[in-house]
Each structure stands twice: as C-alpha cells, then as structure tokens.
Amino acid sequence: MADAVDVVDGLVSAADGLKSAGKPRTIIAVNPEKVIRARNHQALMDSLRAAALLIPDGIGIVWAARILGLGRMRRVPGSELMPALCERAAKRGYRVFLFGASPQTNARAAEALRERYSGLQIVGHQHGYLSQDDMDGLVRRINDCQADILFVALGSPKQEMWMARYLPTLSVKVCQGVGGTFDVVAGHARRAPRVFRTLNLEWLYRLLSQPSRILRQTALPKFVWQVFCEKLRHW
C-alpha cells in the first residue's frame, strides 16, 4: 500500500514537472472477476494493459502472481488505496475530483473525506447517473477546476470504458477507477469485518451478504482453472 501511494504520488508530481501534461495515467484494481471478463472484452483488456498501475485488489491475484512466479505481493484493495491517496493529497496540496455513485453517496463521500483529511481540496464532485449528453460538460468542469486526481466510481467495466473514452480530453494527472469505494467512504456500504479481511475471505463475506453476486463470483473457479493451465503451459 505504501509503495502504491508513492507510485501515484510520483505520477502526479512527474506530470507537474512537465509543461504539457500528457494523457492522464490510470490506476486500475485487478481481481479474478475482472481478469476473466477481460479475456472476452478487448476494450477492458486494452485498458488494463494501458494502465500506469494495476493494483492486486483481490487475494486471488496475489495467489496467482505467486503460483506463476510473477512476484510476491500483498493485497492493495482499491477501497483502501483511494482514502490513502486522499490523505497524501491533503499533505501535498493535490486537487481531487470525485465522479460516480448515487447523488447522496457522492455528496456524503466528499463530506466524509473533507472531515477525515483536514486540508483536502475536493475541488468538485459529481454523481454517476448523468446522461450521455452531459458528459462533455462534466469533462469541462473537471478541467476548469484543475483537478490533479480524478476518482471514478461507476463499477466495472463501466468506469474503465468511461476512462478510455474521456481521459484523452481530460487534463487531470491521474485517474483511479474505484468501483463501490464511495459507498464505503460514505458509510452506505460496509467492508467485511476484520476477521474476514485477515483471513483473506472478503470475497466470501461479500457473497454471503449479497447473494445476488453469485453470478459474478462464478469467475473465481474459472480463474483458478486458468491459472493452473497457465502454470502447466510454462512448466
């Protein structure tokens, strides 16, 4: 987590040093479900490949990386990285914009972050249920308030598709797709209790508390299978 925060901080300050900021750099959380979806979703795969930083959001990714000899790492949940970046932004004076979630959640998340991190400059926020016609106006607003970091909370793959489409016209330096994080920050959704998190069973908690997610979690066995196949291919 500390490394991830430093990397993002480095991306923002590197962009600060450039006269003409290039295309914003992206941070995308990876979990087994996203990997499985990306195999049949070229645009999602492209956005993963183009990201400046992929964070191992789920324990499945940490496990797969180890099995495939890609390195040892610890989980960096997107829902923890986002507030950690806000804490760093408050210290460094970076300007933050929050886009996504319901109107109540979006407003409450902005309020909660301002209360939690004194001096945090949330220069704008916008709920995630805008019509397509309003998107150009939103891009202008984000650019006008000179945000450095944009958090996009539209769920996956919607947020990755939004980022791929609009980032070329945005002047932010860094953009993180944060899924349901505003709901957690606003206190409208709970993270798994500590015991589930310590045992790396957050996925099980989400499944038990929202059984409707069962369809999404069918990706897990597919992911395990694919990892073993990949391992055998390079045996």
Would you tell me which residues interact with ligand UDP (CB under 6 A)?
Answer: 100-102, 105, 128-129, 153-156, 158, 179-180, 182-183
Q: How far is the CB of 96 from ligand UDP (least distance, A)?
A: 17
Q: What angle do CA 37, 184, 91 make, to 5 degrees?
A: 105
Cβ atoms of residues 78 and 181 within 8 Å? yes
* Shortest Å, Cβ 29 to ligand UDP: 7
Q: 172 phi and psi, to 5 degrees? A: -65, 165
Chain-centre distance for alpha carbon 44 = 14
Report CA-CA distances (Å) from 17 to 10, 14, 21, 119, 140.
11, 5, 9, 23, 23
CB of 154 to ligand UDP, least distance (A): 4
Among candidate residues 55, 58, 38, 68, the one with its CA nearest the CA of residue 3: 55
Instruction: Give least dist CB 23 to ligand UDP, A.
Output: 23
Residue placing its CB nearer to ligand UDP in the complex, 97 or 182 = 182
Our CB check for ligand UDP shows the closer of 114 and 158 to be 158
Side-by-side strand order, sheet with 149-153:
53-56, 25-30, 174-177, 149-153, 95-100, 121-126
| Residue (9 or 60) nearer to ligand UDP, CB | 60
12 vs 147, which CB is nearer to ligand UDP? 147
Return all residues near 211 (Cβ < 8 A) that are at least 6 apart.
none
Instruction: Report in angstroms how near the CB of residue 172 gets to ligand UDP at its nearest.
Output: 18
* DSSP secondary structure of 88-107: HHHHHT-EEEEEES-HHHHH
Nearer to ligand UDP, 83 or 128 (CB): 128
Q: How far is the CB of 57 from ligand UDP (least distance, A)?
A: 9
Number of H helices, E strands in the chain: 13, 6
Residue 129 or residue 225: which is nearer to ligand UDP going by CB?
129
